[in-house]
Structure 1
Amino acid sequence: MIVRSITYRKLDTMRTTLDRIRHTLMFEIIGLLIVMPLGHLLFSLSISHMGMVGVISAVVATIWNYVYNLGVDHALKRLRGHVHKNVFMRVIHAICFELGLICVLLPLIALYLGQTLAEAAPLVTSLALFYVVYAFVFNWVYDVVFPIPDSPARGEAPTNRA
């Protein structure tokens, strides 16, 4: 039986701290610009309340984003030898990110709005569903626009070895 392995050039490279900061700031700023007016329209919250929900969510998500993605990259590098993700891995990555974030945000938003967890759940669930799709698209586009240094050129296939 012949075993084939797929290898990439220099896949041990990970994103720099400055790149991670750029990623996180861009993600949160663009997300806020989309979520705040939509949340105001859909949930009839005042702009000030939606703004505060947005800021609370952004601060918590920014911290979680950095910690979560750093942890995932280290786990991928250790388990697979590289940090590149296929479509399936990107879907799992986005869903797991949001589930962890919901666990933190639901009680915080309920407390801020003076609501029960059940009353705050539709808002938090809507935010999570939006961000699952947004995270998937944003991260994919980010990887194309800002590729990891020394990763294969766009469109370049991995090399196969017998």
Structure 2
Amino acid sequence: MLITKKRLVHAMTYEVILLIIIAIALSTILEMPLEVTGGLGIAMAITSVLWNIVFNTLFEKFEQKKQLKRTIPVRILHAIGFEGGLLLFTIPMVAYALNISFWNALLLDLAMTICILFYTFIFQWCYDTIEQRIYSN
């Protein structure tokens, strides 16, 4: 699979912003050192970047095949699909890094996922808007 500059910029921008938000929020909410939550955030970000590249490539092919326009319902489908798939990879990371049970990791990861769904939707919408302005000139 060829990774384009556009895809790499998209994935890295998404992850850097999210990493900062997650590390600070978890450290504050869980009263844990920023090193712990930041380390977890980095592991999750690396996993997410890889998933982001694969998922978005497949999603764009799906969009083309079904001739979908990037409407709000399509972006909601995108956000749910991306975060749902990522959840399968991150639950074990959360359990290990925070030394909690898989059940508690699932609950924490679901809570993070709900927050990240909103972030993903807003990020994608903004990214699409910026990209459209850049390429329409």
d(CA) in 2 for partners of 1:116 and 1:148?
46
Kindly indicate whether the alpha-carbon contact (under 8 Å) linking 1:107 and 1:117 is maintained by their aligned counterparts in 2.
yes
Pairing partner for 1:134 from 79, 94, 119: 119
Partners of 1:43 and 1:123 within 8 A in 2: no
The 5 Å alignment of 1:3-152 reads 17-80=4-67, 84-147=69-132
| Distance in 2 between residues matched to 1:148 and 1:68, nearest whole Å | 24
Q: Is the 2:48–2:86 contact (alpha carbons within 8 Å) kept by the matching residues of 1?
A: yes
Count of residue correspondences: 135
1:131-152: CA deviation from partner (whole Å, max 9, x where unpaired): 10001000110111112886xx
> What is the alpha-carbon distance in structure 1 between the residues aligned to residue 99 and residue 24 of structure 2?
21
Cα displacement string for residues 82-134 of structure 1 (whole angstroms, at most 9, x for unaligned residues): x6311011111101111111111001221233321112223212221121000
SS at match of 2:114: helix
**How far, CA to CA, are the matches of 2:76 and 2:82 in structure 1?**
10
The 2-side partners of 1:144 and 1:42 are apart by 33
Residue 69 of structure 1 aligns to a residue whose secondary structure is helix
SS of the counterpart of 1:146? Answer: helix
| Aligned-residue identity in percent | 24
Structure 1 stretches of at least 4 aligned residues deviating more than 4 Å after TM superposition: none
Aligned residue identity for 2:115:
F
Greater Cα radius of gyration, structure 1 or 2: 1
* Structure 1 residue 40, shift from structure 2 partner: 0.8
- Checking the alignment, whether the CA contact within 8 Å between 1:32 and 1:54 is kept in structure 2 is yes
CA–CA separation in structure 1 for the residues paired with 2:119 and 2:113: 10
In structure 2, runs of 5+ residues without a counterpart are: none
